[in-house]
Chain A
Amino acid sequence: MTAPRTPSRAPRALVVLSLIGGTLFVLPLLGLLTETPWSRLGSILSDDIVVDALVLSAVTSIAAAVLSALFGVPIAWVLSRLQFRGRAIARAIVTLPMVLPPVVGGAALLFALGRNGLIGGFLNDVTGFSPFSVWGVILANTFVAMPFLILTVEGALNGIDRRHEAAAQTLGATDLEVFRRITLPMIAPSLKAGLLLAWARSLGEFGATITFAGNLQGRTQTLPLAVFVNLQSADREPALAISLILVAISLTVLVSLRDRWWGAR
């Protein structure tokens, strides 16, 4: 392709529409910034509620992203490489949480893994698992986040040149070696993108978490839950401060990681 990167004359209609659309994203940010109690921000940020939620969200969102990769990459590989009956249905089921309202997902998790759920009683007897715990939060986050990773990685697996894998196989590599030494490096950029998407989705997770894991400061109250609960109270300042943190973290990560991983444009 020899086309210039920047068109010499941008079509006016596209620019106008993009500006109108852009205000939809900029205005709420401005609204949040004007509501923020800037002068007291320091003391609010060191509030127990804020610190507890920040730590919990960091731990659970990273854990969910890692678990999503651990199980999501194999799922993507199976969906991409194996021919089997019901593959379309399987693909729909593992990406369902992207479309499902998270609160429905949370309720469904409770029906399965709550102590009166399908296997919840057994699980609790054997492992002591309770939804009202950090593990409950991680599980809910992984449930909603993993589909983003699966979709991204499966797309990459379908798109790469299969001749490299075939060549390695003819040279005597086992299937697992091919996957580790050829396939995985080839899809690395997409895997990173999937990890980032899954992590971002976890960080913002609300509905499934509060339905499945409840809301307790220091144990299951992540940043979004802390915002929701405190926005309802007479003292809204912690909620506003946390909202600001969420925006700052998300922007920083999205800007810096995008540039590092895909090259600045």
Chain B
Amino acid sequence: MRLGGFAVGGLALCLLATSCSARSDDDLVVFGAASLTDVLQAAEEQFEQDNPGIDVVLNLGGSNALREQIRSGADADLFIPADPEIMAEAIAAGDVDGPETAIARNELAIAVPAGNPADVQSLSDFARPELLLGICASAVPCGQLARAAFATSDIDPSLDTEEPDVRSLLAKVAGGELDAGVVYISDVAADPRVELVALKAWEQQSTTYVIAPTSGATNAAAAKRFVDFLQQGEGRSIIQQFGFGSVSR
């Protein structure tokens, strides 16, 4: 009975306190692609310094999974997928308010563990069956781009895993469990335990990150300010520092 009392009391406290349920009005909730993890964390820090009243809250994951969460009514102010088509679909469905703003570009690259023990030199090494190789699952943009890269360069890859997002792939390469993985060029810069093997020009695939407020955004003013920050303010230079390509204004 005492335990039951605790449970009921805790539940009541939780319902009373705002911390358990609703977010605070000053929160700016940003749903961003997993490949943006480090750059958005750095941007958050700078932006919060410049705007002391605003607390940026990040939700990072696979672009399609984030899209699904927004469809189901997740509490988001801004959406930044790694694929403009996902954004276009979200705008068409009325879940996100267009027009979107392009803020960064990214290209594929091969990540190998430090020292490149398996001597991976190009995408064609992904046909070597004796290596442990990974890409992202087709459900996320980096997986679709990797598939496209294999298709255009006519390579039949001998894969060992298709990871649910680019960061779990990067982690397996960084830990040396995989000999190579197809990630974004910005990911390679993000982890000192991996080295970059550039793709040949004809193997290359790229994507653009676009940002737009969700139709349910509750913090429109802060959202607008964050978009400006990323597009032309200090955020723009942070994006470049993290190895992303810039987009023409």
Binding site for B on A (CB under 8 A): 110, 114-116, 130-132, 210-211, 213-217, 219-221, 228-234
Interface check B220, CB cutoff 8 A: no
CA distance A131 to B160 in the complex (A): 10
Binds A, one of B8-16, B24-32, B102-110, B134-142: B134-142
Known: A130-B132, A232-B65, A233-B139. A215 touches B164 (CB 8 A): yes
- Given contacts A115-B176, A214-B134, A215-B137, is CB(A232)–CB(B62) below 8 Å? yes
> Does B48 count as interface, using CB distance less than 8 angstroms?
no
B163 at the interface (CB under 8 A from A): yes
A214 CB contact (under 8 Å) in B68, B140, B160, B175: B160
Contact B159 A110 (CB under 8 A): no
Q: B172 at the A/B interface (Cβ < 8 Å)?
A: yes
Give, as a whole number of angstroms, the nearest-CB distance from A219 to chain B: 8
Interchain CA distance A203-B176 in the complex, whole Å: 29
Q: Main SS of chain B's interface residues?
A: loop
Interface residues on B, range: 20 to 34
Chain B contacts with A in 46-69, Cβ cutoff 8 A: 62, 64-65, 68
Q: Which of A110, A114, A115, A228 contacts B164 (CB 8 A)?
A: A228
Q: Is the CB of B161 within 8 A of A214?
A: yes
Task: State A131–B64 Cα separation when bound (angstroms).
Answer: 27
Q: Are B65 and A132 in contact (CB under 8 A)?
A: no
- What chain B residues lie within 8 Å of A234 (beta carbons)? 64, 89, 139
Residues of chain B within 8 A of A215, CB atoms compared: 137, 161-164
For the complex of A and B, 3 pairs with smallest distance between CB atoms: A214-B161, A233-B139, A232-B139
CB–CB B162/A115 < 8 A: no
Closest A residue to B165 using CB positions:
A232
Within 8 A of A (CB), among B122-159: 132, 134, 137-140, 159
B139 touches A214 (CB 8 A): no
Q: How far is the CA of A233 from the CA of B141 in the complex (A)?
A: 10
